Chains A and B, each alone.
Chain A
């Protein structure tokens, strides 16, 4: 049976993105009073784990670092089918960059016991660094493949995965235990079900803080972060209307030009 860890981040709900306020001092998004959702790509990571469990049997642990309300996200993952949840929460973890986050997650993975595969979303919808997966792999000294869009071969401890790169795909053979970061092309996440929510009642959520993980204070949170955000601004979105004039040929040419300039074609 596979031991799978899925790293999940609680991110601000994108549907209220225009209402988010940036903290002028810390340059971060305060998360205590805003609706949090599962980072969308992490849902694909969880779905990958669920599909593997269906095929071969597996024990799926959700690992989430965040403030106490992120516990709701862990519970939701349990309702979606994961077996166990671990919430890493401690005021000392606040302000962690990708490096400190990955270090904390890696320590938790170690503490949790043997693991065959760690799935992460390729990036978070808020930070979007894409570094956490590879950095966990570095701390755990495991192979990593990023941007995986298909698991081609998943029997035994040598897998073949298909991953995206800028202008195409690559097939990669990797030896377990390994870290895999996934894209939205990998699968279609399942929906919450009422019976899943009821089953989650009996599933355990373990809460670990810095002391439980036995990490020095200067390796977590802002103190353990070699990078920090100096500025954060809202993206201005503007609607623009252009009415195409001229002959059909001219209109088509102009339309192709507009789409090309926008990077769509």
Chain B
């Protein structure tokens, strides 16, 4: 028997997340848009509302609520601010390797502080050569006596400047087939967040580069075991990273739909609201169809994840579908607004810009198709 309904508790999670987004995050959006900053205040809000603690097990100070709850929270936050949902989803992505692959000592040391927001996490895989081919990684490590020496650069790293602990993928200098992930911490000598990006959308969500010059990382900071780096990075990105992007996309779709409905009911043309015109109705119908279908794909994958099942393929489908649909929805919402859709006082312009950042994050649509076709052909 399949039950497609949310539980009473999940409905309360949604209500709590929506109230949080509307009262605590919405006031920060104008500053984020104008300055491409404001993340310190937003992170404080996220931490106070326990939004960073959702997936962290209760024994390590988190809420242990799982991935459906995470998706609900991200969807509601993204409905108000995709930039905020994005930074929160990447905190979750950074936390995931600690939950799945961390030693007991690592879990005890890091997770309670991640849960309170006292420390923040991210994952650093992508390099200038690309993010979807982690084997092309050029950040190298050299094993020493109880330490590892890291050298290299990572780019397009969300939370690059805000994260205190970054799970960095590197390749063994002496063996190009061996990849390992390391916990690189703010303050380690030779580790520097460098260039800050100015993205077309998701303004106020920190993205940038990090540089490692002879960073000496102690052996206890290896996460997942030496040589297991690809598994660690891909497991985090495949399930949690893509799952997070689905939350961002669904929230944006919902925002586009609401904006389109509101505007089309208020805008009078030929003496009637334009929502009476079939051309507009069909656009709204398409947005609604995509949103409903995307939710089914996304929440199905998250429910599988909660059951401990492998869900990366299902999330690849959901990520492809929802991020494409979000771009489509944003364009249609802008189109429905006519000339007003070009004016920045209308949020649809932000939605359109944000929608174009959804695609490449955690793997482009074409990469999703590579994964999906591999799944179908296997």
A residues lining the B interface (CB < 8 Å): 72, 75-76, 79, 191-198, 200-201
Contact = CB atoms under 8 A, between A and B. Distances in A.
B12 A191 contact: no
Contacts of B51: 194
Given A192-B19, A193-B49, A201 B9 contact: yes
A251 to B, nearest CB: 27
Which are the 7 A-B pairs with shortest beta-carbon distances? A192-B16, A197-B12, A194-B50, A194-B63, A191-B19, A195-B50, A72-B8
Nearest to A192: B16
17 contacts: A79-B12, A79-B16, A191-B19, A191-B20, A192-B19, A193-B50, A194-B49, A194-B54, A194-B63, A194-B65, A195-B50, A195-B63, A196-B16, A197-B16, A198-B63, A198-B65, A201-B9
Contacts of A201: 9
Q: By DSSP majority rule, is chain B's interface helix, strand, loop, or mixed?
A: helix
- Most chain A CB atoms below 10 A, which of B12, B20, B63, B73: B12
Interface residues of B, number: 19
A193 B9 CA distance: 12
Contacts of B198: none
A197 B19 CA distance: 14
Contacts of A196: 16
Contacts of A198: 63, 65
A191 B51 CA distance: 14
Contacts, number: 44
Contacts of B8: 72, 75
B15 interface: yes
Contacts of B69: 194
B23 A197 contact: no
Q: By DSSP majority rule, is chain A's interface helix, strand, loop, or mixed?
A: helix
B55 to A, nearest CB: 11
Contacts of A195: 50, 63
A194 B47 CA distance: 12
Given A72-B8, A75-B8, A194 B13 contact: yes
A192 B12 contact: yes
Nearest to A37: B15
Interface in B1-29: 8-9, 11-13, 15-16, 19-20, 23
Contacts of B13: 194, 197
Contacts of B53: 194
Contacts of B23: 191
Given A72-B11, A79-B16, 19 more contacts: A72-B8, A75-B8, A75-B9, A75-B12, A191-B19, A191-B20, A192-B12, A192-B15, A192-B16, A192-B19, A193-B16, A193-B49, A194-B13, A194-B53, A195-B63, A196-B16, A197-B12, A197-B16, A201-B9
A200 B15 CA distance: 15
Nearest to B10: A197
Nearest to B23: A191
A41 B8 CA distance: 23
Contacts of A191: 16, 19-20, 23, 49
A223 B203 CA distance: 61
Interface string B66-86: 000100010000000000000
A196 B19 CA distance: 14
A29 to B, nearest CB: 21
B36 to A, nearest CB: 28
A243 B109 CA distance: 66
A76 B50 contact: no
Contacts of A76: 12, 15
A217 B173 CA distance: 84
Nearest to B15: A192
Interface string B302-332: 0000000000000000000000000000000
Contacts of A192: 12, 15-16, 19
Nearest to A197: B12
A197 B9 contact: yes
Contacts of B15: 76, 192
B80 to A, nearest CB: 15
A56 to B, nearest CB: 26
A75 B16 CA distance: 13
Contacts of B65: 194, 198
Nearest to B8: A72
Contacts of A194: 13, 16, 49-51, 53-54, 63, 65, 69, 73
B67 to A, nearest CB: 14
A192 B65 CA distance: 15
- Most chain A CB atoms below 10 A, which of B16, B49, B50, B69: B16
Nearest to A198: B63
Nearest to B12: A197
Contacts of B16: 79, 191-194, 196-197
A108 to B, nearest CB: 23
Contacts of B12: 72, 75-76, 79, 192, 197, 200
A196 to B, nearest CB: 8
A68 to B, nearest CB: 12
A72 B23 CA distance: 22
